[in-house]
Structure 1
Amino acid sequence: MALPPGAARPIRHYGPVNWLGLTTLFRREFRAYLKDWLETVVAPTFSTLIYVAVFALAAGPDPVEWAGPGGLPHFLAPGLVIYVVVLRAAETTVYSLTYFKIERLLGDILMPPLASWEIAAGYALAGTAAGLVTGLPCLVAMLLFAGTGIADPALLGLALLLGAFLLAAAGTLVGLWAQKWDQAAAFFGFLLIPVTFLSGVFAPVALLPGPLAGLVALNPIYYAIDAARIAFGGVGAEPVGRSLAVLAASGAALWACSAVLIARGWRIKP
């Protein structure tokens, strides 16, 4: 409704949380993810099935001892689902922030009355939702075509949620750091993908050499995969409580770091 001439526009007051601004930022980032659904949802599911087929053919008809009673597909399914979820969660935040920085559009984020922690939360939550939506059809594909089942759905959901939030918060940090596309791509090519592959996706960590296995224990993604493997009915190497605690603490720490850096204007203000 138009204001009468000379009337002052009413001042909008916000509570401890600017829910309108936070949800608006979340919706904008999540809608941008959904626009490319063929690339962000369909393609990862197809790639996951290709991974399972290739490893099953490579293993041959003889059972793999370390794969457990469910066979190789049952062993691969939890790690591949986690891999798809965390990769999409990180890509959503990294590429969105990098694009806005390169195109000099970050003023759209900094001008609204949003606290730094709300901006960090908006990006992290949007990345988390994107990762979970991408992981859902991959999970269904594993259940249908790999012959797997879920022994503890609640534990699996919690592992996926915490893993997605962890990498979405990490992606926010990388997006703040990256000044060009090459730097954003380097994070995936030289850090995230190698670290994920060495966290128990395709083989038990116990089969790795001693020093390398010790380094894997410092990788939070390893705990997400281990918890997911237990949820699928497999055998985990770590206590469930420890895995979930590591994921929750790591995600909270990365989110807090990104909020502090946004408040300081690190690499986002001239």
Structure 2
Amino acid sequence: MKNTADMGMRRFGRVNWLGLYTLTRRETMRFVAVWTQTLLAPLATAGLFLAVFTLAIGADRGDVMGVPFLHFLAPGILMMTVIQNAFANTSSSIVISKVQGNIVDTLMPPLSPLELVLGYVAGGVIRGLLVSVAIALALVLLLGIEIAHPLWALLFVIVGGTLMGALGVFAGIYANKFDQMAAITNFLVTPLAFLSGTFYSIERLPPLMQALSHANPIFYLIDGVRYGVIGRSDSSPVLGLVICVATSAAVIALCWWMFRRGYRLKA
């Protein structure tokens, strides 16, 4: 008879590291194979945002938080790009698999629900990291911005990619069609990103709008990266990190439950 410890073990161990690595690699190769769409296009979009604001406002806009407006704006655009790409990577992968009917190929291997969630999320984090590094290099080389706290910036990028990757997993499982996925993106993710202090300091908002902004976890991602890049922020980066980590854990737990129950995944 097997002892209690052995009964909790799978034949490849408590964690299927090979399976987790394989799923992460698959999710990474998905966007690397079409890098002009998944990596180059976001860089072009971020550059267009900066160019439009520079041309539209120019020198007429005074300093914000003691730094030039363009320097204030750049970290927000960097984080917004990470958010959009991490979310798109996980959500599109699951929705495409469901629509094409091959989601079973992911569910059948000996991967636990948590390993499935982490594998998908890891792919989103890697895509977000690659995009953020490219944009950060452009900010340093073209705008002359010195990264004030690089470790803080990196930490918030990783946490942001984790949170939005997990939200993408949730949205991908919930949506059964591309138009449902588009609705989630257009009416939830995009408004939360644009109304999170990306283009302005929330100190300029009325009290009610400030309170609503503090209830938006993406605000803390934007604010945390801004602190990491220019050393200025609207709130404590420690508080923001705690809120974002807790929110990420809650969303990952929800995704784990959805995979465990087969919610909208099994016919």
Fold equivalence (TM over 0.5): yes
8 Å contact from structure 1 (residues 75, 234) kept in 2:
no
Q: How much has 1:148 moved relative to structure 2?
A: 1.4
**CA displacement 1:117-166 (0-9 Å, x = unmatched):** 11011101111111111222112112222221101110000010001100
In the alignment, structure 1 residue 87 sits paired with structure 2 residue 48 = no
3-state SS, counterpart of residue 59 of structure 2: coil
Contact 1:156/1:227, CA 8 A, preserved across alignment: yes
TM-score (structure 2 length as normaliser): 0.93
Pair 1:207 & 2:204 matched: yes
Question: In structure 2, the residue corresponding to 1:232 is in which secondary structure?
Answer: helix
Asked if 1:151 corresponds to 2:148, the answer is: yes
- SS of the equivalent of 1:175 reads helix
Match in the other structure for 1:239: 236
Distance between the aligned counterparts of 2:153 and 2:194, measured in 1?
20
Letter in 1 for 2:95: T
Superposition misfits of 4+ residues, deviation over 4 angstroms: none
> How much has 1:59 moved relative to structure 2?
1.6
- Aligned counterparts, 1:93-172, within 5 A: 93-172=90-169
**Structure-2 separation of matches of 1:81 and 1:218:** 21
Counterpart in 2 of 1:249? 246
Number of the residue aligned with 1:53 = 51
CA–CA distance in 2 between the matches of 1:198 and 1:207? 13
**Structure 1: 5+ residue stretches without partners:** 1-11
1:36 to 22, 34, 37: 34
Supply the distance in 1 between the matched residues of 2:61 and 2:206 (Cα, whole angstroms). Answer: 23
**Contact kept in structure 1, 2:79 and 2:157, CA below 8 Å:** yes
Unaligned runs of 5+ in 2: 1-9
> Whose radius of gyration is greater, 1 or 2?
1
Report deviation, 1:190.
Answer: 0.8
- Provide the residue aligned with 1:16 in structure 2: 14
Cα pair 2:72 2:230 within 8 Å, conserved: no
Letter paired with 2:120: Y
Amino acid at match of 2:189: L
What fraction of aligned residue pairs are identical, expressed as a percent? 36
Letter in 2 for 1:87: Q
What is the number of residues matched between the two proteins? Answer: 258
Partner of residue 27, structure 1: 25
1:68·1:234 contact (CA, 8 Å) conserved in 2?
no
Q: Is the 8 A contact 2:149 2:231 kept in 1?
A: no
The SS at the match of 1:108 is: helix
Further displaced range: 132-141 or 176-185: 132-141
| Cα distance in 1 between the residues matched to 2:231 and 2:11 | 51
SS at match of 2:19: helix
Q: TM-score, normalised by structure 1?
A: 0.92
Corresponding position of 2:3: none
Paired with 1:161 and 1:265, the residues of 2 have a C-alpha distance of: 28
Amino acid at match of 2:261: R
The question of 1:262 aligning with 2:251 is answered no
Amino acid at match of 1:208: L
3-state SS of the aligned residue for 1:125? helix
- 2:196 is paired with a residue whose SS is helix
Q: Secondary structure at the match of 2:230?
A: coil
- Give the whole-Å Cα distance in 2 for the aligned partners of 1:155 and 1:178: 34
Query: What is the CA–CA distance in structure 2 between the aligned matches of 1:92 and 1:55, rounded to whole Å?
Result: 27
Partner in structure 2 of residue 221 of structure 1:
218
Alignment partners' CA distance in 1, 2:123 and 2:232: 32
Which of 171, 176, 190 in structure 2 is aligned with 1:193? Answer: 190
